[in-house]
Amino acid sequence: MIDLAKARILVTGADGFIGSHLVEALVAAGSNVRAFVQYNSFGHWGWLDQAPESVRSAIEVVAGDVRDPTCVLDAMRGCNVVLHLAALIAIPYSYRAPGSYVDTNVTGTLNVLEAARALGVERVVHTSTSEVYGTARYVPIDEEHPLQAQSPYAASKIGADQLALSYQRSFDVPVAVIRPFNTYGPRQSARAVIPTIITQIAAGATVIRLGALHPTRDFSFVADTASGFMAVARADAAIGQVTNIGSGFEITVGDTARLIAELMDREVRIEHEDARLRPAASEVERLFADIRRAGETLGWTPAYGGAEGFRRGLQHTIAWFSDPANLMRYRQGYQV
């Protein structure tokens, strides 16, 4: 068992949606955090730029690129725990630039694993995604469900997941794989369905344009995803295992849109828009997490689980996106 309050933790992808929330949670837990952010000429730290001063002053920020092995190795020196979140995640863009997904998600993960192996770190938590399951063959989806890549993004993550697990089996690198289902919450990209709905309504739209309305998703509030990362990082039992993190509740995209409109007290009409559709065979029709392993091996349960928890999580998310200062950060109609 790792005491995170005494750990020196490298978080790759710390500038992103989930990564920034995880950094905040780790700082609150007393961890010593090194945040690895993607280098850019503006000197921006992504969403960490918006973190409270108490968080920004408590972390060490290192800018680089996960695709560069030397950069990753240097960033990892002196750390005993690595939480690897850096990835390209936008599914629509993976149809246009699949090579970029292999470079970042597979080769980037290889660089993290090689550095961890060389430095002898105590724990590597690798981030997977529920997209690797594809359309559910049975529900709820447990960790033994077959893997089915229905997009280049999903294929790159399956490759990265298997590479990570192979390093545990081949070289005894202490790797644990966390597999979050559809995380949502403040600061999420507007390409994702929940921010797409909220930002359209918050901007005054009475007609909401979405892609497929019938697929179901298991939406996990970002605070639960962050706590799941921390639970996986702590537990020795997670090594060599895949652990699902979700809410244990499924809902269609259409019903999600109607619930958000209800919570925002707005009357809207939902229209189908072909431009937002995935290729027919690429659409994941159903995702619904079995989270028993997380409960049994980690003692983790979602604070925002079930239908009631989903409503609470949506209320937090709506409140954040409805703040004009936050809403103005998003380009209306942006899909990728």
**Residue 52 belongs to a domain with what CATH number?**
3.40.50.720
Whether residue 2 is predicted with pLDDT greater than 70 in this model: the reply is yes
Whether residue 336 is predicted with pLDDT greater than 70 in this model: the reply is no
Residues 166 and 153 in one domain: yes
Residue at 334 is within a domain: no
Query: Strand 175-180 vs strand 242-245: parallel, antiparallel, or unpaired?
Result: parallel
| 34 vs 335: which has the higher pLDDT | 34
Residue at 150 is within a domain: yes
330 is catalytic: no
Burial class of residue 300 in the structure, from the number of CB atoms within 10 Å of its CB (0-12 exposed, 13-18 middle, 19+ buried): buried
Whether residue 331 is predicted with pLDDT greater than 70 in this model: the reply is no
| 91 vs 158: which has the higher pLDDT | 158
Q: Give CA–CA dist 235/142, Å, rounded.
A: 19
Q: Give CA–CA dist 39/111, Å, rounded.
A: 17
pLDDT band at 191 (very low <50, low <70, confident <90, very high): confident
Residues 36 and 90 in one domain: yes
Residue at 333 is within a domain: no
Residues 261 and 155 in one domain: no
Residues 207 and 124 in one domain: no
Does residue 253 contact residue 217 with C-beta atoms inside 8 Å?
A: yes
Average pLDDT over residues 252-259: 95
Does residue 182 contact residue 287 with C-beta atoms inside 8 Å?
A: yes
Residue at 43 is within a domain: yes
Q: What is the CATH number of the domain that holds 322?
A: 3.90.25.10
Q: Give CA–CA dist 71/36, Å, rounded.
A: 10
For residue 108, what pLDDT is reported? Answer: 98
Does residue 188 contact residue 314 with C-beta atoms inside 8 Å?
A: no
pTM over 0.75: yes
- For residue 18, which amino acid is it? I
The tally of domains found in the chain comes to 2
The end-to-end CA distance of the chain, in Å, is 39
Residue at 335 is within a domain: no
For residue 277, what pLDDT is reported? Answer: 67
Q: Report the candidate in 17, 55, 13, 11 with the shortest Cα–Cα distance to residue 329.
A: 17
Mean pLDDT, the chain, rounded, equals 94
- For residue 334, which amino acid is it? Y
Residue at 171 is within a domain: yes
Residues 91 and 122 in one domain: yes
Residues 239 and 263 in one domain: no
Residues 100 and 199 in one domain: no
Helical H runs in 63-204? 69-76, 91-96, 98-101, 108-119, 152-171, 193-202
For residue 190, what pLDDT is reported? Answer: 85
Q: Report the candidate in 234, 230, 228, 303 with the shortest Cα–Cα distance to residue 28.
A: 230
Residues 11 and 103 in one domain: yes
Return the number of other C-beta atoms located less than 10 Å from residue 332's C-beta.
Answer: 11
Does residue 291 contact residue 243 with C-beta atoms inside 8 Å?
A: no
pLDDT band at 328 (very low <50, low <70, confident <90, very high): confident
Strand, helix or coil for residue 267: coil
Residue at 177 is within a domain: yes
Return the number of other C-beta atoms located less than 10 Å from residue 333's C-beta.
Answer: 12
Residues 30 and 78 in one domain: yes
- For residue 216, which amino acid is it? T
> What is the span of the domain harbouring residue 170?
4-186+220-248+288-304
For residue 283, what pLDDT is reported? Answer: 86
Residues 205 and 224 in one domain: no
- What are the two backbone dihedrals, phi and then psi, of residue 37, each rounded to the nearest 5 degrees? -115, 155
From 153, 184, 304, 330, the catalytic residue: 153
For residue 274, what pLDDT is reported? Answer: 67
Residues 197 and 114 in one domain: no
Residue at 108 is within a domain: yes
Residues 256 and 174 in one domain: no
Average pLDDT over residues 157-182: 98
